[in-house]
Chain A
Amino acid sequence: MILEARGLTVRYPGASRVALDQVTLGVGAGELVALVGPNGCGKTTLMRALLGILPAETGETFIDGRAPAAWKRGDLARFLGVVAQREEIWVPLTVEETVMLGRYPRLGALAPITAEDRAEVRRALERCDVWELRDRLVETLSGGEWQRVRVARALAQQPRALVLDEPATALDIRHEMEVMELVATLVKDGLACLLITHHLNLAARYAHRMALLDKGRLIASGTPATVMRAETLSQVFGWPVEVQDWNGAPQLIPLRSPDP
C-alpha cells in the first residue's frame, strides 16, 4: 500500500461533529482510487489527514508504510506529488518555470539547476502534452492547459504517488477527458493515484476502486460496480438516481422530478 488510512477519525478544533469517522482506505501502486461524495463530506479533509497536515483524533495514516510524521519534508516531496484544488499565482511565471518548481525538492536551497533537471522537466511537459506551451505565461493558459501544467509539475518531482484534488472541475469535456486520460496513462506506468472528484461517472470509468464518503463516514468502497448502486447513491446524494451500464462501467443518471 502506498497510501493508507486505518480507522481514521478527524475532528476540526472546536467542532462538535467529527469531520471523518473511522475511515479506512488504501491506494496501491498502479492503482487509481477515486474518492467521491457530496459537497462537504470530508474528501479534502481525508486528503489532508493522509498527508499529515491535519492531526488524527484516532486511527492512523501511512505513506509507503510510514506515518507522515516520520517523513522528512523533503523526502515526502520527492515521493508524493500533490495537485491541490486551488492555486493562485501572483507573479508572471512561464510554464517551464512553474514545472521547474517541481524539481525544487530534489534541488534543495543551493544546488544549481542541471541539464538533468531540464531533461526531467521536458519529459514531464511532454507527457502532459504541454511542451509547446513552455514559454507561455501561466495566466494566459486555458483551464485544461493549466491543470495539465500542474500535473506536469507534480510529475517533475518524480513521485511514486499522486494525489489529485478535483483536477477536472470547471473544465469542459475535452479538457476534462484530457486530464483523465493523462492520469490513466500515469497510473498504468506504475504510479499510485488518489483522485478526489465529484464527477462520479468519469470516476466509475477510470478508477480501479472507488470510495464513497458521506458526512465523514465511509459508506461504500470497492470496485465501481460495488459502490455505484442506485439506492446507496440516491440516499447519499439526496436525489433519486438510476444506474445504467455503459461498456462495463456503471453510469449514474439523476432522475427528473415527476410531473405534478
Chain B
Amino acid sequence: MRSRRLVLLFLAAFLALAVGLMLGSVATGPAGVIRAFSDPTSTENTILFSLRLPRVLLAFAVGAGLAVTGTALQALVRNPLADPYLLGLSGGAGLGAVLAIALVAAGAWTVPLAAWVGAMVSVALVYRLATVAGHRLDPRILLLAGVVVSAFTGAVMAAVLTLVPSPALRNAFLWLLGGFGAASWQSLIVFSAYAIIPAALLVVGARNLDLLSLGEEPAQYLGADVERVKQVVYFSSSLLAAAAVAVSGVVGFVGLVVPHAMRRVVGPMHRALIPAVALTGGGFLVLADGVARTIASPLELPVGVVTAVIGVPLFALLLKRSVR
C-alpha cells in the first residue's frame, strides 16, 4: 500500500516537472515544446534548453533537498516546527550574501559562495553553543542556539543594509527572498554533485531517524549510536540547506510543510517518508517557481513569496485536520 502511494507520488512529481517546463513568461504549450525540439535555432529551443530545463531541474533538486533536510531536522529535535533554517543557517547565509552584494563583489560565484560560507559559519557557531560537556549535542539547546544565532546575524545584516546604498539594499532583499533566476546547467551540476553525499547519508540513516523518534535513551537501547547519528544528521542537514540557500536564497515552507503532509500520506517511518518528501518537495517547488515566473509576467516574483502564500494556508489546513 505504501509502495503504491510512492509510485503515485513519483508520477505526480513527473507531472509537476512537465507542467513546470511549460510555464513561463514565454508561454510554451505542447506545441512550443515540439518546436523547441525540432528547431534548434528557435527561441523556444534556447529558452527551454538553456534556461528553463536546468531551472526546473534545479528547483526540483533544491525542493527535494529542503524537504529532506526539514524531515531530518524534525526527527533530530523531535519537534514538528523545525525547518531547514532552524539552525541559524538562513541568517548566516543572508549575511554572507548581503555582504557580497553590498561590497559589489565581482565574479559569477561570489554571492553563492559567500552565502554558503556564511551559512556554514553559523552552523559551526550553533554547534558550539549546543554542545554540552564538550561532545554531547543537546537538541533542546540546539533550538535555542539556532534562534540566538539567527537573531544575531539578522541584526548584523540589518546594520549592513542600513549603511549600504539604497539600490543594493533592495536587490539584496530580493535575492534573499529566494529565486531560481540564476539557474544554469553549471549550477545544477555543482549543486547536485555536492548535495548527493549529505542526501545519501540521510537516506541511509532513515532507520536511525525512526529510532530517534522514541527518544535518545530508547534509541540507544535499540542499537543506535545516538551521538554519531545526531552529528551526521546535523551536518548533513546543514550542508544540504546551506547549498540550497547559496543557490537560490531563502525559500521557506518547503522544509516545514512537506514533511507534515507526507507523514499523513505515507506514515512516519523514514524509509518511505524520505523518498516521499523528496518527490513532493521537488514537485512543489517546481510548480511554485513556475507560478513565480508566470503570474506577473514579464515580472518575476521571488519564489519564497509564492511558497509562503501557498504554504501558509496549506499548513493551517494540515494543523486543523490533525487537531480534528
A-side interface residues toward B, CB under 8 Å? 51, 53, 73-74, 76-78, 80-82, 84, 86-94, 97, 101-102, 104-105, 107-110, 157
Q: Shortest 6 CB-CB distances between A and B: which pairs? A: A77-B223, A82-B221, A105-B223, A91-B268, A90-B78, A74-B223
- What are 16 A-B pairs with beta-carbon distances under 8 A? A51-B221, A73-B223, A77-B221, A77-B222, A77-B223, A78-B223, A80-B221, A90-B78, A93-B268, A97-B268, A101-B214, A104-B210, A104-B211, A104-B222, A108-B207, A157-B222
In the complex, chain B residues 186-207 whose Cβ is within 8 Å of any chain A Cβ: 204-207
Inter-chain CB contacts under 8 Å: number? 65
Interface SS majority for chain B: loop
Among B211, B225, B263, contact of A101 (Cβ-Cβ < 8 Å): B211
Given contacts A92-B263, A104-B207, A110-B204, contact A87 B222 (CB under 8 A): no
Given contacts A82-B221, A97-B269, contact A90 B205 (CB under 8 A): no
Q: Is the CB of B214 within 8 A of A87?
A: yes
Residues of B within 8 Å of A94, CB to CB, are 267
Rounded to whole angstroms, the CA-CA distance of A76 and B215 in the bound complex is: 18
Q: Is the CB of B225 within 8 A of A73?
A: yes
Give A97 Cβ to nearest chain B Cβ, in Å: 6
Closest to B225 in A: A73
Given contacts A104-B223, A157-B222, contact A90 B269 (CB under 8 A): no
Rounded to whole angstroms, the CA-CA distance of A93 and B263 in the bound complex is: 10
Rounded to whole angstroms, the CA-CA distance of A97 and B80 in the bound complex is: 19
Q: Is the CB of A53 within 8 A of B214?
A: no
Is B213 at the interface (CB under 8 A from chain A)?
yes
Q: Is the CB of A97 within 8 A of B207?
A: no
Closest to B204 in A: A109
Among B206, B208, B267, contact of A97 (Cβ-Cβ < 8 Å): B267
Residues of A within 8 Å of B213, CB to CB, are 89-91, 93
Given contacts A73-B225, A104-B223, A157-B222, contact A87 B269 (CB under 8 A): no
Is B217 at the interface (CB under 8 A from chain A)?
yes
Rounded to whole angstroms, the CA-CA distance of A125 and B80 in the bound complex is: 29
Closest to B213 in A: A91
Is B79 at the interface (CB under 8 A from chain A)?
yes
Give A253 Cβ to nearest chain B Cβ, in Å: 35
Is B294 at the interface (CB under 8 A from chain A)?
no
New A-B contacts (15) at CB < 8 Å, excluding given A82-B218, A101-B210, A157-B222: A51-B221, A77-B223, A84-B221, A86-B215, A87-B215, A87-B218, A89-B213, A89-B215, A91-B268, A101-B214, A105-B222, A109-B204, A109-B206, A109-B207, A110-B204
Rounded to whole angstroms, the CA-CA distance of A88 and B78 in the bound complex is: 10
Is B231 at the interface (CB under 8 A from chain A)?
no
Residues of B within 8 Å of A102, CB to CB, are 222
Residues of A within 8 Å of B263, CB to CB, are 91-92
Among B221, B224, B225, the one with the most A-chain Cβ atoms within 10 Å of its Cβ is B221
Is B220 at the interface (CB under 8 A from chain A)?
yes
In the complex, chain B residues 255-272 whose Cβ is within 8 Å of any chain A Cβ: 263, 267-269
Closest to A157 in B: B222
Residues of B within 8 Å of A76, CB to CB, are 223
Residues of A within 8 Å of B210, CB to CB, are 101, 104
Rounded to whole angstroms, the CA-CA distance of A88 and B219 in the bound complex is: 11
